[in-house]
Structure formats: C-alpha cells, structure tokens
C-alpha cells in the first residue's frame, strides 16, 4: 500500500498559476480554424474569434497564452500582421506544412483573444531572422504610453491605449529552428536583443531567454553564466515521444502497453530534467530569481492518418491525461523554480485541450485534467512525503505507480491530485493529513477501461470526469482505492487547524 503523509500546516511556496499556461502557434489548425474563423464565418464568433472555444477555455482559467510560436516565431515579422486585414501580406509558413498564411490573425487579434480569455499574453519575439530594431519596435508598438511613431500607428490601427504586456520571449529554440546557434553565440545575442526590450511607462517586461532542449545542460550552464543577470526566465522544452525516434513517434490511439509505459517514463523524466537544470541555475542564481519556464511540453505522436504531416494534428486519449497529471504534479513539486509552463498546444496541435472540425468542437482528456487541477492555481504547495510507492512494472523496467501533489487554497481547502499510471492495476493509498481536522472529502476522477479512451466528434462525452467516492475517511486518514490508469483530485474541507504542529 502506498503511503502519503501530507502536512496540512507546512506550506512550501505558492504554485504559480502560470504553470497552467498554454501555447498557440501559427501551425496547422491551431490559430486558423481553431481560434480564428474570421468575422464573416457562419461559426459563431466575436470579431473573428470563435465563441465556443473561448467559452470552453475560460472554464479552465487559462492564466497565460504563448504566441506566435514556436519555430514560427523566428520567421514571423510582426508588421505583416497589423493594419487592415485585406492589405496584410501573404507569406509561406515554411516550417509548418508550407501553407500560405494571410496574416489575418496578428498582434491586435491576439491581444483581443487574451482579453476574452482573461489570460496574460506571452509574446515570443524573432531573433533567428528578425532584427533588434524590429523587436524593439514591436515592444514599443504594444506598450508605449506616450506619443511616438509606433503608438501613433497603433492608434491608427484602432487601439489608442497601450496593452499591458508582461511576458516576452527573446527567440525560440535558437539551438535549432531558431538559428542553429551555439549557446555562447546565443547568450551574446540574447544580451543584445534583450537590451532593447524596453519597459515603457508602468509596463514591466519579464524577459525570457531561450533555454535548453531536454537534457542539454551545457546550454543552461552557458546561458546562466553569460546572460543570467539579464533575464527573468529561462525556457526548457521537453516532449513525450513514446516511440523510439522522431521518425517513429507512435500512434496517438490504438497503441499497446509498451507505448503506454514509454510515455509514462518519458513524462516522468521531466522531474529529472527540472531538478538538474535547476541545480545549474542554483549555482548562478541561488535566490531563485530566474524562473524556469517550461514553455513547450506534452505528448507528440504521429499525425492522424490522412492529415498534413506539417500540421501536427493528433488525437488525445486517457494516456495524455496521465501525461498531463504527472507532469503538472512535477511542476508543482518544483514551484520554487518553475514559474510558468505552456503545454503544446491549445487547439488542434499536439497535446491539445480542444479539437475542432468545422463548427464542431470537442474537449480532450487533457482539457479535463486542466479542469480538475485548476484548483491548484496560485494555491500553496503543501509538504508531502510518499513512501512504499507500489511499482508499475513492464518487462524488466518499473516506475512508481502513484504520482501525487497537494495544495491549500485561500479558503483553506486542501486539494490532492493523484495519478495511477498503471494501466492494469488499481492501487490502495493511505493518505494521512497532519495538522488539520478533516470535515469532509469529495472527489472527481477521469478513468476508463481503455488505455486509448478518447472523445470523438460523434461521441464527445465518452471520457469526462465523474464523481469519485472510493475512499473512507477515518480521523486524519483517507484510505483510497485508486483505479488503474486514472487521474483524480480530492477536495478536503477542514474544520480547523491543529496549531503548533511541525
Ligand atoms: O510545438 C511544436 C514545435 O516544437 C515548436 O514550434 C517548436 O518550438 C518545437 O520544436
């Protein structure tokens, strides 16, 4: 039996709600068809932005949205996306499918979308193929609050007031699609570009440098050493690919247990990555002023048969729900360093929250995990010890069966997120909550008999959270029977604190 001891009276720090951030790139049908249908569309919209997806995403309280890429960011020239839509130049999205991009969705449309969602914008600038001047002018265009050529142009384009813009990324994957740079070269470029990302008026920008790919610890070392004091955040990208290589990533549905196991193993690897990159960051930034920003993560599979390989459109199953659940638990455990994360990507691309087809829309299992976990946003992480964790074994290899995280919110409600990654075996958990008197416990769960359970446009409620009651409360102990392949969140209402316990 797995034992969890949660110290209800020992807080470990605030879980930055931005860990629940999202990513939207000009890629496939994320922007066009996903968010943007245009004002003349028959699909209900506000100024061209789909109403149904906005409503659904508001429910999961998206705190921050990263845009316009990704690899697209280092090919994007922001001036192409302002002014009257019909006059905007057309470009080729060379990185993603070679399709033409009409630039109808640009800065104004993105800012309006963020307003509708109640999300902070996180804009990623172009270092790979853009100039310092271009980046400088974009920031001025968006945030300058006085009279200037850029603010005059913004006003001419329909927006008098500057926008509030906090998060700005200086390049994306500059070790790869963003210019194939060496870390020493990028560190110098970062220092140069970031100098001109100015704070105008009361707008203060949190500058995010391009960080490592997966386990490139050398990149982190060089960036922190050479540019650490000029940045507020350093990014990290890690995708969960169940197959043996990028050429054989595996199918999003209809997979066997070997691919389930690999996916769990690769998702759990995030813990090692965050720990090791944080250790390097600690060397240069012991006060943890620089946030680790995991601005791309999630499952990446072969595209759905018959779809454009450059569009990265994939189904989303219970396996994705587990990937999301364990990864979010990891980010929470590292909330002292991980200040933001952006799952890739919000609609129709990679591990999405939402899939659309024409006017139809469905919510994925990953959406439901973000819905279950939203209670952790800005809550205080509670100290927790897990012991005697059962094994999930496959072949010669094994992993811990249970992943867990607990937080306490402003109303003193404790939320415990639990994942059982074993697709075949349920598990018993004895969860002791010290330091509080439990008054009631309720739960919700996402599970199914099938590893690849998913929603389709014909059956969009096949997999959704249900009420969970398979637990018994005895004083301060909750005895839980957690089904195989499940993600659950328990809400514990407490009567009062037992004071002075340590
Ligand atoms: O999310 C898809 C792509 O993955 C992004 O454009 C890029 O940054 C990463 O390689």
Each residue's pLDDT tens digit, 20-61: 999 999 999 999 999 999 999 999 999 999 999 999 999 999
Q: Give per-residue burial for 471-480: e unless 16+ CB within 10 Å, then b.
A: bebeebbbeb
178, 296, 300, best to mutate for ligand 1 pocket (most atoms within 8 Å of CB): 296
Query: What is the CATH number that goes with domain 2-9+381-497?
Result: 2.60.40.1180
Between the CA of 96 and the centroid of ligand 1 the distance, in Å, is: 10
> Tens digit of pLDDT for each residue in 205-238?
999 999 999 999 999 999 999 999 999 999 999 9
- pLDDT class of 497 with cuts at 50, 70, 90: low
Q: Where are the domains of the chain?
A: 2-9+381-497, 15-378
Between the CA of 72 and the centroid of ligand 1 the distance, in Å, is: 8
Number of H helices, E strands in the chain: 9, 26
Peptide bond into 68 cis (omega under 30): yes
Atom 5 of ligand 1 has which residue's CA nearest to it? Answer: 70
Between the CA of 145 and the centroid of ligand 1 the distance, in Å, is: 33
Between the CA of 252 and the centroid of ligand 1 the distance, in Å, is: 18
- Return the ligand 1 atom nearest residue 72 CA: 6
> Tens digit of pLDDT for each residue in 295-331?
999 999 999 999 999 999 999 999 999 999 999 999 9
| 471 vs 116: CA distance, rounded Å | 39
Residue 502 has pLDDT above 50, yes or no: no
Q: What is the pLDDT of residue 469?
A: 98
Q: Are 136 and 197 in contact (CB under 8 A)?
A: yes
- Return the ligand 1 atom nearest residue 296 CA: 1
Between strands 427-434 and 233-240, the pairing is unpaired
Q: What does pTM read for this prediction?
A: 0.97
Arithmetic mean of pLDDT, 114-139: 98
Q: Say if ligand 1 is within 6 A of residue 296 CB.
A: yes
Please give the full DSSP string across 194-209, using - where no structure is assigned: HHTS---TT---EEEE
Q: Is 221 a catalytic residue?
A: no
Residue 64 has pLDDT above 70, yes or no: yes
- Choose the CATH number for 15-378 among 3.20.20.80, 3.40.50.2300, 3.40.50.360, 2.120.10.80: 3.20.20.80
Residues 6+ apart with CB under 8 A from 475: 438
Percent of the chain residues past pLDDT 90, beyond the cut:
98
3-state secondary structure 224-287: HHHHHHHCCEEEEEEEECCCCCCCCCCCCCCCCHHHHHHHHHHHHHHHHHHHHHHHHHHHHCCC
Q: What is the pLDDT of residue 496?
A: 72
Out of 161, 296, 304, 466, pick the active-site residue.
296
- pLDDT class of 501 with cuts at 50, 70, 90: very low
Beta bridge partners of 100: 92
Between the CA of 179 and the centroid of ligand 1 the distance, in Å, is: 14
Residue 77 has pLDDT above 50, yes or no: yes
Crossing angle for the helix pair 257-284 and 318-333, nearest 10 degrees?
20
Atom 2 of ligand 1 has which residue's CA nearest to it? Answer: 70
Q: What is the pLDDT of residue 380?
A: 98
Q: Is 296 a catalytic residue?
A: yes
Angle 221-225-227 from CA coordinates, rounded to 5°: 115
Percent of the chain residues past pLDDT 70, beyond the cut:
99
> Tens digit of pLDDT for each residue in 401-421?
999 999 999 999 999 999 999
Per-residue tokens: 310: 């450059």
Q: What is the pLDDT of residue 495?
A: 86
Atom 1 of ligand 1 has which residue's CA nearest to it? Answer: 344
Angle 370-44-79 from CA coordinates, rounded to 5°: 80
Q: Say if ligand 1 is within 6 A of residue 70 CB.
A: yes
> Tens digit of pLDDT for each residue in 455-465?
999 999 999 99
173, 240, 249, 298, best to mutate for ligand 1 pocket (most atoms within 8 Å of CB): 173
Atom 6 of ligand 1 has which residue's CA nearest to it? Answer: 70
> Tens digit of pLDDT for each residue in 347-365?
999 999 999 999 999 999 9
Q: Say if ligand 1 is within 6 A of residue 172 CB.
A: yes
Q: Say if ligand 1 is within 6 A of residue 212 CB.
A: no
Between the CA of 299 and the centroid of ligand 1 the distance, in Å, is: 12
- pLDDT class of 498 with cuts at 50, 70, 90: low
- Return the ligand 1 atom nearest residue 239 CA: 4
Residues 6+ apart with CB under 8 A from 399: 261, 264, 265, 268, 391, 392, 421
């Amino acid at each position: 039996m797995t034992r969890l001891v949660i110290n209800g009276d020992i807080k470990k720090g605030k879980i930055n709600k931005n860990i629940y951030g999202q990513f939207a790139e000009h890629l496939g049908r994320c922007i066009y068809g996903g968010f943007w249908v245009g004002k003349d569309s028959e699909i209900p919209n506000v100024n061209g932005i789909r109403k149904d997806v906005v409503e659904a995403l508001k429910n999961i309280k998206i705190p921050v949205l990263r845009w316009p890429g990704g690899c697209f960011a280092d090919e994007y020239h922001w001036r192409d996306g302002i002014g009257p839509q019909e006059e905007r130049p057309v470009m080729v999205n060379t990185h993603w499918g070679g399709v033409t991009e009409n630039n109808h969705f640009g800065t104004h449309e993105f800012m309006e979308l963020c307003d509708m969602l109640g999300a902070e914008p996180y804009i990623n600038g172009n270092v790979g193929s853009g100039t310092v001047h271009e980046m400088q002018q974009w920031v001025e265009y968006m945030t300058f609050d006085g009279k200037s050529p850029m603010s005059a142009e913004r006003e001419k384009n329909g927006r008098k007031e500057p926008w509030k813009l906090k998060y700005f990324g200086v390049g994306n994957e500059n070790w790869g699609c963003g210019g194939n740079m060496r870390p020493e070269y990028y560190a110098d470029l970062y220092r140069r570009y970031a100098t001109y990302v100015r704070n105008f008026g009361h707008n203060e920008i949190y500058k995010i440098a391009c960080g490592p790919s997966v386990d490139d610890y050398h990149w982190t070392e060089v960036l922190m050493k050479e540019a650490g004091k000029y940045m507020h955040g350093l990014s990290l990208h890690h995708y969960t690919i169940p197959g043996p290589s990028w050429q054989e990533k595996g199918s999003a549905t209809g997979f066997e247990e070997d691919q389930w196991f690999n996916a769990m193993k690769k998702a759990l690897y995030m813990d090692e990555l965050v720990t090791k990159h944080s250790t390097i960051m600690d060397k240069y930034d012991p006060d943890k002023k620089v946030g680790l920003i995991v601005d791309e993560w999630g499952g990446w599979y072969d595209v759905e048969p018959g779809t454009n390989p450059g569009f990265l459109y994939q189904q989303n199953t219970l396996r994705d729900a587990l990937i999301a659940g364990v990864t979010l638990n990891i980010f929470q455990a590292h909330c002292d360093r991980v200040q933001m994360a952006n799952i890739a990507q919000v609609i129709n691309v990679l591990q999405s929250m939402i899939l659309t087809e024409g006017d139809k829309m469905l919510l994925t299992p990953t959406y439901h995990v973000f819905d279950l976990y939203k209670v952790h946003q800005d809550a205080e992480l509670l100290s927790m010890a897990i012991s005697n964790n059962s094994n999930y074994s496959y072949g010669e290899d094994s992993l811990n069966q249970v992943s867990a995280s607990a937080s306490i919110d402003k109303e003193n409600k404790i939320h415990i997120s639990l994942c059982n990654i074993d697709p075949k075996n349920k598990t018993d958990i004895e969860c002791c909550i010290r330091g509080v008197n439990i008054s009631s416990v309720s739960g919700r769960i996402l599970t199914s008999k099938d590893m690849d359970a998913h929603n389709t446009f014909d059956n969009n409620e096949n997999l959704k959270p249900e009420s969970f009651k398979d637990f018994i409360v005895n004083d301060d102990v909750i005895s839980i029977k957690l089904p195989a392949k499940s993600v659950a969140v328990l809400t514990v209402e407490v009567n009062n604190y037992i004071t002075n316990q340590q």
